[in-house]
Structure 1
């Protein structure tokens, strides 16, 4: 009884090993597949060619399981397959099939395990018409077992995006609308004194790309131009926000500099450092400077929207404080200020005035004496 159980267990182990072996992937793609066009999206009707090399892997004593097969497929229209088997460097006559599916029987691929077996496959066709821009299969390879099930991890596929002309036309219209809005924004910012040089350059780049997309019948190229245009417009919009933020920051800094000059005048020329009005100006000035510092931090971090918001806040505070400082100066007037640093000048001027007055008095008295004889 125990011997029978051991035999059954042994048979079960062997069966599992056989099943595991049969489930293995028995090919690999060698080298880099040749795809023409090599990159980019495709337009419907565009000619396409794909070539791949499959090297068969050892399967026990054979290069490939005879009861398995390779199933190749393409979404290309009017496909033509050309393939041949290479044995130890020697090629079989090529075979040609016109169909979307190319099945290759495992029996044709099963050779002695010590034989170098490779399968050369090429498919030519045209990119299919699509109702929406989407990916399509240029070539797909699968290993199928005796039950017609796909072996796990045996699928190899090359895809490419096929462009729908209607999508391109709709995208051109959308891009044109965005471009028009961008131009309006640039003109408004320019009128407000904002530097729009960088934004204008990107606008010009986007406009040229949209014009190319509108004038070509190569829809894949048009789609690429539209991507270029969208990226350029995004860069232009960012440049506008950055420029607007920079102007707010510059205006705020200029106002703060003017406030500092007025405060210096009050403190130095008018000796008003302890005046409540001047102290209030200094407090308001510091608040504006704090907002300006935050705006500069956001600019350095390239957070231009946040920098613009902080810049507007800083500029509003600075302009309000500058207006108040100007009003206070007008209320006080120039007045007279005794500046100790100018004391010698004041003394000199006083002496001159005294001498002039004394001279006038002397002359008048002298005249009176002359008249009295």
Structure 2
């Protein structure tokens, strides 16, 4: 049995000597991309890097390299122990460096220096594009599980143009809204400040070069957000103006109510009670409108303010009518009793005048009759 075990150990050792050790993953060093960052279509891009093969083992795997750049021009040199083994040039979006060219003794230091020149492709929409992707490919054509990939954003310049046009359109609508509300005597000062900020942000975006795509879109997005904030401020100011307008009739009727309550002849009149009830309803609507402003529901605030104005105006008009009735008829403050009393007095006065006229007539008649008898 021991002989069999010994034999198995020798066979295993021999197998490990004959079969190359499994390849460790390659590394990518000294990656350089110019220009770096966001690209616009047609921009020339220069890339250089080094693929370091794993040390301490040999490999039969090939290196497959791919790019989405247009007009790619490749060149690479296999370096063995820092000695270059000639320059190879190639074209096409995909190239393969055969594993045979990379197979050396396990003690050798093997690396591949690669350069790539191409142009950023035209894109229908802004999206990331692959500058370089590196895969290991075994002798059966199977790709390695973890490719090295370097991507960058390539922009559709029309995206910025469209975004700027959209922002300018929103800014124009905002300007119209500010002017309309200002004509209604609504305070638009806060919105005006937001308008100026948004205009500056759009102007800045328009002045940036196409390579500053990200900065331009950030400025545009900030401008649109600023416009939205300004519209909210206008909406709030509009609601506050409606509430202020609704408070006017309430303030006016309060003066009349105070006068009525101070006068004993009108303080207990039923008509005053109706006026006060209408006034209280108006005040409750104003309170609801202020609550809606606090919660940011400006449409509801305006609706409540409109109801407050209608009810407050009704209260004020009724108070004016009551005041006019009191001033026209001193007995009007007595209500229906005053009307009855006023009518009775008028009848008495008319009756007195009639009696006086009859007496005067009788006296005159008798005097004339007396004169006639004296002849």
Correspondent of 1:225 among 209, 212, 216: 216
**How far does the alpha carbon of each residue in 1:126-185 deviate from its partner, in whole angstroms, 9 at most, with x for none?**
2234455544322111222222222223252313224256x6666665555445444433
Q: Distance in 1 between matches of 2:161 and 2:133?
A: 31
Unaligned ranges ≥5, structure 1: 299-306, 337-373
Answer yes or no: is the 8 Å Cα contact 1:263–1:282 preserved in 2.
Answer: no
Q: Distance in 2 between matches of 1:266 and 1:117?
A: 101
TM-score, with length taken from structure 2? 0.62
Q: Distance in 1 between matches of 2:275 and 2:294?
A: 29
2:150 is matched with which residue?
A: 157
Structure with larger Rg = 2
2:340 is matched with which residue?
A: none
1:199 is matched with which residue?
A: 194
Q: Distance in 1 between matches of 2:94 and 2:141?
A: 15
Answer yes or no: is the 8 Å Cα contact 1:44–1:127 preserved in 2.
Answer: yes
- CA separation of 1:127/1:268 partners in 2, compared to 1, >3 Å: closer, same or farther? same
1:92 is matched with which residue?
A: 84
1:62 is matched with which residue?
A: 57
Mapping of residues 247-326 of structure 1, within 5 Å: 247-252=238-243, 255-256=246-247, 259=250, 262-263=253-254, 266=257, 270=261, 275-298=273-296, 307-326=297-316
- CA separation of 1:188/1:50 partners in 2, compared to 1, >3 Å: closer, same or farther? farther
Unaligned ranges ≥5, structure 2: 328-375
Secondary structure of 1:275 counterpart: helix
Correspondent of 1:50 among 43, 47, 52: 47
Mapping of residues 156-195 of structure 1, within 5 Å: 156-163=149-156, 177-192=169-184, 193-195=186-188
Correspondent of 1:235 among 222, 226, 230: 226
Answer yes or no: is the 8 Å Cα contact 1:136–1:160 preserved in 2.
Answer: yes
Q: Distance in 1 between matches of 2:192 and 2:83?
A: 64
* RMSD after superposition: 4.3
Answer yes or no: is the 8 Å Cα contact 2:242–2:302 preserved in 1.
Answer: no
1:102 is matched with which residue?
A: 95
- CA separation of 1:266/1:133 partners in 2, compared to 1, >3 Å: closer, same or farther? same
1:351 is matched with which residue?
A: none
Query: How many residue pairs were aligned?
Result: 301
Answer yes or no: is the 8 Å Cα contact 2:202–2:219 preserved in 1.
Answer: no
TM-score, with length taken from structure 1? 0.63
Correspondent of 1:145 among 138, 141, 144: 138
Q: Distance in 2 between matches of 1:95 and 1:262?
A: 98
